[in-house]
């Protein structure tokens, strides 16, 4: 078997959240074991059953997030990519590419096309989130000649209008602070999408608002139900088509 350095690594999503959930999951039952109840004056605000129950749910959530990072997000990626009728000649953009999960997955379906990823490389959103790690994954996956990665902000993309046949994004836009800025990201996606092109935007919050923002930008948009089977937090996919 090869060493881990020869395998692509797509990181842990929201590593700080996973760490804190594990700490609460272990720490709260220990606290409850030693301290039957915590009081604030005459009010009891934390009892032993509460610490056990809360700790249990924190631990389960941490495990589910790890399972998503190691298994589920690959299934979710394939679910997204399988909705595209690929010709192999597409120009593809992955907004918030991270370590390149969607960008590389799309590149494997291309022949003469090109898959581009942009990111601002926030380590709090993905462990080891650097361009160097992404370039390494591109090499290991054998798609370096069909991929390109750039520094880029979703609210101010450097691409001309009508540049991409397909635009992808997974759990990225919710990280943009402020509704107005998230609206701007949606407008930018529509701007750089070719007429007749398709965008797939996956997230666990704000998806109803994304639909409104995409429609306000002149595109057709709808969203799927939650993917309860392979994602945690549970994700929806917003499907966007730019009118010809």
Q: Note the pLDDT of residue 1.
A: 36
* Residue 98 shares a structural domain with residue 205: yes
- Which residue among 71, 92, 109 closes a domain? 71
Among 42, 71, 100, give the residue marking a domain's end.
71
pLDDT tens figures, 56-113: 999 999 999 999 999 999 999 999 999 999 999 999 999 999 999 999 999 999 999 9
pTM of the model: 0.92
What is the structure's pLDDT at 3?
41
The string of DSSP letters for the chain reads ---GGGS-----BSHHHHHHHHHHHHHHHHHHHH-SEEEETTEEEEEHHHHHHHHHHHHHHHHHHHHIIIIIHHHHHHHHHTTS---S--EEEEET-TTTHHHHHHHTT-SS-EEEEEE---TTTBTT--HHHHHHHHHHTT-GGGEEEEE--TTS--SPTT-EEEEEEES-GGGSSSHHHHHHHHHHHHHHEEEEEEEEEEESSSHHHHHHHHHHTTEEEEE---BTTT-SS-BEEEEEEE--
Query: What is the mean pLDDT of the segment spanning 219-226?
Result: 97
Shared-domain flag, residues 27 and 105: no
Q: What is the C-alpha radius of gyration for the chain, rounded to an integer number of angstroms?
A: 20
Give the end of a domain, one of 71, 86, 116.
71
Please tell me whether residues 135 and 40 are part of one structural domain. Answer: no
pLDDT band, residue 6 (cuts 50/70/90): confident
pLDDT band at 28 (very low <50, low <70, confident <90, very high): confident
pLDDT score recorded for residue 40? 64
Query: What domain count does the chain have?
Result: 2
Strands 91-95, 114-119: parallel, antiparallel or unpaired by DSSP?
Answer: parallel
**Average pLDDT, stretch 39-67?**
85
Does 85 share its domain with 201? yes
The mean of the pLDDT values for the chain is: 94
């Amino acid at each position: 078997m090869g060493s881990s350095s020869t395998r692509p690594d797509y990181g842990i999503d929201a590593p700080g959240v996973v760490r804190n959930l594990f700490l609460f999951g272990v720490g709260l039952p220990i606290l409850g074991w030693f301290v039957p109840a915590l009081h604030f004056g005459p009010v009891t605000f934390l009892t032993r059953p509460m610490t056990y129950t809360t700790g249990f749910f924190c631990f389960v959530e941490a495990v589910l997030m790890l399972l998503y990072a190691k298994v589920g997000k690959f299934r979710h990626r394939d679910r997204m990519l399988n909705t595209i009728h690929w010709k192999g000649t597409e120009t593809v953009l992955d907004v918030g590419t991270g370590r390149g999960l969607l960008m590389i997955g799309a590149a494997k379906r291309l022949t003469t096309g090109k898959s581009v990823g942009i990111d601002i490389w926030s380590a709090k959103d993905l462990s080891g989130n650097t361009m160097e790690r992404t370039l390494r994954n591109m090499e290991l996956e054998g798609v370096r000649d069909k991929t390109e990665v750039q520094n880029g902000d979703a609210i101010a993309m450097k691409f001309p209008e009508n540049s991409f046949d397909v635009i992808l994004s997974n759990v990225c836009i919710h990280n943009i602070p402020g509704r107005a800025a998230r609206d701007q990201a949606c407008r930018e996606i529509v701007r750089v999408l070719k007429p007749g092109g398709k965008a797939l935007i996956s997230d666990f919050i704000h998806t109803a608002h994304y639909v409104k923002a995409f429609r306000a930008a002149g595109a057709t948009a709808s969203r799927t139900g939650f993917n309860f089977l392979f994602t945690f937090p549970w994700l929806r996919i917003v499907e966007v088509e730019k009118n010809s």
